[in-house]
């Protein structure tokens, strides 16, 4: 046994732990989908009350999308007097504010508010905007939508029905779908990715550990909980992940309600996509490091699991992929080679097959997604889209280290709209 | 649903547990074999003593040590040999011996004391090569005269057969004076005859020390007239399947075993227990390839006796298993510079351990390319009773010498099983022909042992041709299992005596490195099994889920 073999073993083990975890999550995600389906919830008749809701829409130069977003919020099927829509305009230099004002004039009887954050308090990012909007909101439940979202009509009903069904639920997240999936290959990949992420990671974790990660949009949280946790961490780039951790730590659960859907725009160019993803990686690493420091008093085992899940994605898995790539390159150019034998070809083929199946299952849960084209795309995805993740993680790491080093303050990182 | 979940999960767990439980079984089988075997490291000694006196050890530019080779040849007979340089000979020294052999390469016997002792002794004197005039000058008791160097011989006549000797070379010619002298072999120029081997009273004379066929065979055969044999009389041939390393095709090995097994022909297997991947430091030991180990065990069952053929057969010369050296520096053509004892111990230790642990029981050893420094032989002798192949008689450079019969209790070996016929070379159309010629030549020696080897990657037709030839020649095949051999390394012991083999090895021989590898192999298999289940379940989910969603769409 030589050094290379140990490295190889390390890579194999960590990669397989994560693969195994994902297999289990897929299984439970699927179980959850079946259960939701079998429950046959009739959202029109089964509501047992309409708690007051505040929808917060942080906006920073959103003139392209804000009109449609606000209008679709106003069209939601929920008693009009029971919800308010608050657009938090953080120093937009475009016509965002004007558009919202126009809408307020058009719908004078609706609870639509525009909050302009003063210059001296603004420009500090989404968390800050959300905290600002939260302070001025009145609803018992707070819902967040990004400025490009179009929720389905019953989204509020589903979210509030779910959240009010259990006192232990601190928050409920819905599902987001890709509005522009037909745009190009990249958006098709993103569509497949988001669906599988939600059915595997979110639904699976919910079923298994009763927790999910807040996705930043289309989620509902109790005012009480936000009060207790003190709002959003304004230093966090991934404020949603950070908030999720604090909510679990307080002992609340975060539920997954797949029937509450929202459609959002996904990046249409690689450059925008890359910027968005590296920001996520950077943000998630921030959260991970923040909570790893207090790993011994995070409380419950499920939080530990979530920490481990993140840790294995960003540290173990990444390092394993790098190690195995290095071994591969070494074996080409030097005489260091892995000598451990095993039926790796078969193992690899099966892994590839399982990967494809997992995602296919996630797609099959949605109407019209498990098409032959999409399934063929999954096969291609493994070698193309998935490999980009490596670069994203690398760059995300780099940005995280850079941010730490320069003690850079959080600001608006916004995904470009199309 | 939850119930089903639990069922599947518990089934997965069950699979894992079973897999983990099974994995150590393969190496936990203990030996119940007789632990009380006693190792006879010193088989019956020799009854007679011989003093071997020489002037030089080799011919100019010949890397073979003629003295060593001659000394080793006497191993067939019931004599133990001490060698001494003629200059170091002390007066009266020969009186302690039963036989005196003089090996003359230059004929420079300047030690007069030695010549005087020799002239007076009644003990049997075997004079091989140059310098006989020194003795004939001292005494007139012999009925012959030195006739000077003679180069023109083209053949040698022995027992009525005329054998060409190839390149012309120097013989110390003798003319005989009367019928008191019995000539056993004549040299022939095409016109003249002069003796090659003769006997006059206590003196046996050979007119040249020559390590090549046919002269060495004639010399060997005449020795039976002089010395009592130590090895029982037999004429045998052995077949060795050569360079069998873990990446050889197990099917071909089985086919060979079947072919020979069906014919009841015992054979040897030159096993290289580990394989080094070319261009890599990584060594694959045979137990990582179970099909190979099974094939070797099968060969063992079908009449194969295992000869450990080095450890990887790859270092100091070439990068491919079966090509490199192991106990000789093939690049600098010199003995290895490392600590040879340690190296021999390491490589042999690994080879013996992995063999025994896999129920493969080597009975002998064969150095890669037959290349070994003299120190390496000494070291090897501690671990193996038996050596198969040819002898590298000196450290001056890589060379090998053949001996036509089994030898025992020599300086180099406890037991030596010579190979002298060669091997099948598919690039040499005449190689089978050469083997046949060599075999016909070795028959000169009355109690001969002839070995031949065959590489298993060749077409089995070559082997069949060879075997058919040997069968037609009524050759008797040597079966190692019917003989006495031992292998001893630390607590690992194999003793084979006339059909019974006793093996003992330590019960606790867990090797963390191996365990890890085995564990890894087992885990891979378990993983694949689990994946099969996952794939099955997921396909079901997928089909079911697609059904439901498409119904929903229609509905």
What is the CB neighbour count within 10 angstroms for residue A293? 9
pLDDT tens for A71-111 read 999 999 999 999 999 999 988 888 888 999 999 999 888 88
Quick one: average pLDDT of B79-87? 94
Considering only CB atoms, B549 lies closest to which of A336, A342, A365, namely A365
How far apart (Å, rounded) are the C-alpha atoms in residues B199 and B126? 9
State residue A311's pLDDT score.
Answer: 82
Contact B141, B120 (CB under 8 A): no
Inside any domain, residue B528: yes
pLDDT at A404 over 50: yes
Domain enclosing residue B539, as ranges: 511-555
Angle, alpha carbons B37-B43-B46 (nearest 5°): 170
Residue B175 sits in the same domain as residue B271: no
Considering only CB atoms, B539 lies closest to which of A16, A27, A357, namely A357
Nearest to A23 by CA among A344, A342, A359, A376: A359
Residue B332 sits in the same domain as residue B480: yes
Q: How far is CA B547 from CA A357, A364, A367, B535, B541, in A?
A: 16, 9, 10, 18, 10
Last residue of a domain, one of B226, B248, B263: B226
- Residue B275: give its domain's CATH number: 3.20.20.370
pLDDT tens for B7-51 read 555 555 555 544 444 443 333 333 333 333 333 434 458 999 999
How far apart (Å, rounded) are the C-alpha atoms in residues A307 and A326? 27
Q: What is the largest CA-CA distance in chain B?
A: 127
Last residue of a domain, one of B196, B226, B256: B226
Q: A-chain residues within 8 Å CB-CB of B529? A: none
State residue B321's pLDDT score.
Answer: 64
Q: Residue B326 in 3-state DSSP? A: coil
pLDDT tens for B94-132 read 999 999 999 999 999 999 999 999 999 999 999 999 999
Torsion, Cα B77 B82 B84 B89, to 10 degrees, reads -110
Quick one: average pLDDT of A231-260? 86
Using the Cβ of A208 and the Cβ atoms of chain B, whether some distance falls under 8 Å is answered with no
Interface of B with A in 287-326 (CB under 8 A): 288-289
Using the Cβ of A50 and the Cβ atoms of chain B, whether some distance falls under 8 Å is answered with no
Q: Could you tell me the two tokens for B184?
A: 């056993």
State residue A365's pLDDT score.
Answer: 87
Q: B-chain residues within 8 Å CB-CB of A362? A: none
Residue B119 sits in the same domain as residue B178: yes
How far apart (Å, rounded) are the C-alpha atoms in residues B436 and B470? 8
3-state helix, strand, coil in chain A (%, to 5): 55, 10, 30
DSSP-derived letter for residue A201 is I
Q: A-chain residues within 8 Å CB-CB of B539? A: 357
Torsion, Cα A61 A67 A70 A74, to 10 degrees, reads 170
State residue B508's pLDDT score.
Answer: 65
Residue B186 sits in the same domain as residue B129: yes
Q: Could you tell me the two tokens for B143?
A: 């009925």
How far apart (Å, rounded) are the C-alpha atoms in residues A1 and B440? 50
State residue B25's pLDDT score.
Answer: 35
Inside any domain, residue B185: yes
Residue B153 sits in the same domain as residue B56: yes
pLDDT at B239 over 80: yes
Residues whose CB falls within 8 Å of the CB of residue A384, separated by 6 or more in sequence, listed in order: A189
Residue B221 sits in the same domain as residue B263: no
State residue B3's pLDDT score.
Answer: 47
pLDDT at B149 over 70: yes
Q: How far is CA A399 from CA A243, A409, A414, in A?
A: 21, 13, 16
State residue A368's pLDDT score.
Answer: 83
Inside any domain, residue B8: no
Contact check, Cβ <8 Å, B545/A33: yes
The residue written with tokens 């399982």 in the block is A354
Among B384-393, B476-485, B498-507, the range scoring the smallest mean pLDDT is B498-507
How far apart (Å, rounded) are the C-alpha atoms in residues B398 and B380? 18
State residue B31's pLDDT score.
Answer: 33
State residue A299's pLDDT score.
Answer: 63
How far apart (Å, rounded) are the C-alpha atoms in residues A286 and B181? 105
Best mutation target among A11, A259, A360 (most B Cβ atoms within 10 Å) is A360
Using the Cβ of A328 and the Cβ atoms of chain B, whether some distance falls under 8 Å is answered with no
pLDDT tens for B161-202 read 999 998 889 999 999 998 899 999 999 998 889 999 999 999
Residue B244 sits in the same domain as residue B356: yes
Residue B219 sits in the same domain as residue B240: no
Quick one: average pLDDT of B347-370? 93
Element at B282 (helix H, strand E): none
State residue B20's pLDDT score.
Answer: 45
Q: B-chain residues within 8 Å CB-CB of A31? A: 1, 5
Q: In terms of pLDDT, which residue wins out, B324 or B275?
A: B275
pLDDT at B268 over 70: yes
Pick the residue from chain A with its C-alpha nearest to B527. A347
The residue written with tokens 């090797």 in the block is B511
Pick the residue from chain B with its C-alpha nearest to A27. B538
Inside any domain, residue B519: yes
Considering only CB atoms, B535 lies closest to which of A337, A343, A357, namely A357
Best mutation target among A27, A36, A208, A333 (most B Cβ atoms within 10 Å) is A27
State residue B377's pLDDT score.
Answer: 95
Residue B149 sits in the same domain as residue B284: no
Look up the CATH superfamily of A1-418.
Spore Coat Polysaccharide Biosynthesis Protein SpsA; Chain A (3.90.550.10)
Provide ipTM, 2 decimals.
0.79
What is the CB neighbour count within 10 angstroms for residue A1? 16
pLDDT at A50 over 80: yes
Considering only CB atoms, B535 lies closest to which of A9, A344, A354, namely A354
How far apart (Å, rounded) are the C-alpha atoms in residues B142 and B175? 11
Inside any domain, residue B2: no
**Residue A233, φ and ψ in degrees, nearest 5:** -80, 110
Element at B494 (helix H, strand E): strand B492-497
Q: Could you tell me the two tokens for B332?
A: 């600098």
Query: How far off is chain A from B244, nearest CA to CA, in Å?
Result: 20
Nearest to A267 by CA among A394, A175, A385: A385
Is the backbone of residue A283 left (phi > 0), alpha (psi -120 to 50) or beta? alpha
Interface of B with A in 334-373 (CB under 8 A): none
Among A62-76, A298-312, B52-66, the range scoring the smallest mean pLDDT is A298-312
Considering only CB atoms, B534 lies closest to which of A339, A354, A370, namely A354
Going by DSSP bridges, is the β-strand pair A253-264/A150-151 parallel, antiparallel, or unpaired? antiparallel
Pick the residue from chain B with its C-alpha nearest to A370. B546
A298 pLDDT band, cuts 50/70/90, is low
Q: Count structural domains, chain B.
A: 3
pLDDT at B529 over 80: yes
Q: How far is CA B160 from CA A316, B156, B186, B197, in A?
A: 83, 10, 10, 14
A40 pLDDT band, cuts 50/70/90, is confident
Inside any domain, residue B543: yes
Q: How far is CA B514 from CA A226, B245, B285, B358, B509, in A?
A: 56, 19, 10, 12, 10
The residue written with tokens 């990657």 in the block is B457
Q: What is the largest CA-CA distance in chain A?
A: 76
Residue B533 sits in the same domain as residue B492: no
Q: A-chain residues within 8 Å CB-CB of B531? A: 347, 350-351, 354
Residue B456 sits in the same domain as residue B309: yes
Please compute, for residue B275, the number of CA atoms within 13 A of its CA located in the half-sphere on the CB side. 18
How far apart (Å, rounded) are the C-alpha atoms in residues B551 and B483? 79
Residue B202 sits in the same domain as residue B329: no
Is 0.80 topped by the overall pTM?
Answer: no
Last residue of a domain, one of B468, B485, B504: B504
DSSP string, B410-462: -SS-SEEEE--S-B--TT-TTHHHHHHHHHHHHTTSTT-EEEEEE-TTS-HHH
Q: How far is CA A95 from CA A61, A119, A130, in A?
A: 7, 16, 20
Inside any domain, residue B15: no
Using the Cβ of A341 and the Cβ atoms of chain B, whether some distance falls under 8 Å is answered with yes
Inside any domain, residue B34: no
Residues whose CB falls within 8 Å of the CB of residue B112, separated by 6 or more in sequence, listed in order: none
How far apart (Å, rounded) are the C-alpha atoms in residues A113 and A56? 10
pLDDT tens for B448-461 read 999 999 999 999 99
Quick one: average pLDDT of B354-379? 94
Q: Could you tell me the two tokens for B386?
A: 């038996």
DSSP-derived letter for residue B27 is G
What ranges do the domains of chain A cover?
1-418
Chain-centroid distance, C-alpha B415: 10
Using the Cβ of A339 and the Cβ atoms of chain B, whether some distance falls under 8 Å is answered with yes
């Amino acid at each position: 046994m030589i050094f290379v073999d140990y490295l190889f073993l390390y890579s194999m083990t960590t990669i397989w732990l994560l693969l195994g975890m994902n297999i289990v999550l897929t299984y439970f995600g699927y179980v959850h989908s079946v259960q939701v389906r079998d429950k046959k919830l009739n959202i029109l008749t089964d509501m047992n009350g309409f708690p007051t809701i505040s929808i917060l829409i942080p906006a920073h130069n959103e003139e392209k999308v804000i009109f449609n977003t606000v209008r679709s919020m106003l069209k939601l099927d929920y008693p009009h007097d029971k919800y308010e829509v608050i657009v938090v305009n953080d120093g937009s230099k475009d016509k965002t504010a004007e558009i919202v004002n126009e809408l307020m004039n058009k719908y004078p009887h609706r609870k639509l508010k525009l909050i302009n954050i003063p210059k001296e308090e603004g420009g500090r990012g989404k968390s800050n905007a959300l905290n600002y909007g939260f302070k001025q909101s009145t609803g018992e439940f707070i819902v967040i939508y990004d400025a490009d979202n179009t929720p389905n009509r019953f989204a509020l009903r589903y979210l509030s029905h779910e959240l009010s069904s259990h006192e232990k639920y601190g928050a409920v997240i819905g599902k987001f779908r890709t509005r522009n999936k037909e745009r190009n290959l990249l958006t098709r990949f993103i569509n497949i990715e988001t669906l599988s992420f939600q059915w595997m990671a979110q639904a699976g974790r919910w079923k298994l550990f009763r927790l999910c990660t807040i996705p930043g949009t289309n989620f509902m949280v109790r005012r009480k909980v936000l009060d207790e946790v003190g709002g959003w961490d304004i230093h966090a780039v991934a404020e949603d992940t950070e908030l999720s951790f604090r909510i679990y730590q307080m002992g609340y659960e975060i539920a997954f309600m797949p029937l509450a859907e929202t459609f959002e725009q996904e990046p249409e160019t690689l450059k925008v996509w890359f910027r968005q993803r590296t920001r996520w990686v950077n943000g998630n690493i921030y959260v991970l490091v923040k909570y790893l420091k207090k790993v011994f008093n995070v409380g419950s085992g499920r939080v530990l699991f979530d920490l481990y899940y993140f840790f294995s994605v960003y540290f173990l898995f990444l390092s394993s992929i790098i190690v195995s790539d290095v071994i591969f390159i070494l074996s080409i150019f030097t005489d260091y080679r892995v000598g451990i034998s095993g039926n790796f070809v078969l193992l690899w083929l099966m892994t590839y097959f399982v990967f494809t199946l997992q995602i296919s299952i996630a797609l099959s849960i949605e109407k019209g997604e498990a098409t032959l084209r999409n399934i063929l795309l999954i096969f291609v995805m493994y070698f193309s889209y998935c490999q980009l993740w490596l670069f994203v993680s690398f760059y995300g790491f780099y940005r995280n280290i850079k941010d730490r080093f320069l003690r850079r303050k959080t600001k608006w990182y916004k995904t470009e709209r199309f | 649903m939850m119930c089903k979940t639990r069922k599947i999960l518990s089934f997965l767990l069950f699979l894992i547990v079973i897999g983990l439980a099974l994995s150590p079984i393969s190496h936990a089988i203990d030996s119940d074999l007789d632990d009380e075997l006693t190792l006879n490291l010193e088989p019956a000694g020799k009854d007679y003593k011989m003093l071997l006196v020489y002037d030089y050890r080799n011919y100019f530019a010949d890397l073979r040590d003629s003295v060593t080779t001659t000394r080793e040849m006497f191993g067939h007979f019931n004599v133990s040999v001490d060698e001494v340089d003629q200059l170091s000979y002390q007066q009266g020294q020969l009186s302690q011996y039963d036989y005196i052999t003089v090996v003359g390469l230059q004929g420079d016997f300047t030690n007069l004391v030695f010549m005087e002792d020799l002239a007076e002794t009644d003990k049997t004197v075997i004079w091989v090569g140059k310098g006989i005039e020194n003795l004939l000058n001292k005494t007139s008791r012999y009925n012959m005269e030195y006739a000077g160097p003679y180069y023109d011989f083209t053949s040698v006549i022995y027992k009525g057969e005329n054998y060409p000797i190839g390149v012309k070379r120097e013989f110390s010619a003798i003319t005989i004076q009367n019928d008191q002298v019995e000539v056993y072999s004549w040299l022939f120029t095409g016109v003249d005859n002069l003796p090659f081997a003769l006997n006059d009273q206590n003196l046996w004379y050979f007119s040249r020390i020559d390590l090549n066929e046919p002269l060495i065979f004639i010399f060997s055969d005449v020795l039976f007239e002089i010395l009592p044999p130590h090895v029982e009389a037999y004429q045998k041939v052995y077949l060795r399947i050569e360079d069998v390393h873990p990446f050889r095709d197990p099917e071909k090995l089985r086919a060979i075993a079947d072919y020979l097994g069906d014919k009841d022909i015992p054979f040897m297997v030159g096993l290289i227990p580990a394989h080094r991947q070319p261009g890599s430091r990584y060594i694959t030991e045979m137990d990582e390839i179970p099909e190979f180990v099974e094939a070797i065990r099968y060969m063992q069952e079908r009449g194969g006796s295992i000869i450990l053929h080095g450890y990887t057969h790859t270092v100091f010369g070439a990068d491919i298993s079966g090509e490199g050296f192991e106990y000789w520096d093939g690049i600098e053509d010199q003995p290895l510079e490392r600590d040879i004892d340690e190296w021999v111990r390491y490589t042999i230790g690994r080879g013996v351990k992995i063999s025994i642990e896999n129920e493969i029981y080597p009975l002998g050893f064969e150095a890669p390319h037959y290349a070994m420094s003299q120190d390496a032989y000494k070291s090897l002798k501690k671990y193996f009773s038996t050596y198969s192949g040819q002898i590298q008689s000196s450290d001056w450079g890589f060379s090998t010498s053949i001996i036509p019969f089994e030898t025992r209790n020599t300086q180099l070996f406890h037991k030596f099983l010579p190979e002298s016929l060669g091997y099948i070379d598919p690039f040499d159309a005449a190689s089978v022909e050469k083997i046949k010629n060599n075999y016909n030549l070795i028959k000169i020696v009355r109690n001969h042992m002839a070995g031949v080897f065959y590489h298993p990657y060749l077409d089995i037709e070559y082997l069949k041709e060879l075997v058919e030839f040997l069968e037609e020649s009524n050759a008797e095949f040597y079966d190692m299992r019917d003989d006495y051999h031992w292998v001893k390394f630390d607590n690992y012991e194999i003793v084979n005596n006339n059909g019974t083999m006793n093996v003992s090895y330590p019960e606790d021989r867990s090797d963390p490195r191996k365990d890890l590898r085995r564990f890894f192999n087992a885990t891979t298999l378990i993983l694949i099994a689990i994946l099969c289940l996952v794939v099955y379940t997921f396909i079901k989910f997928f089909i079911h889920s697609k059904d439901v969603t498409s119904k929903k769409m229609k509905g």
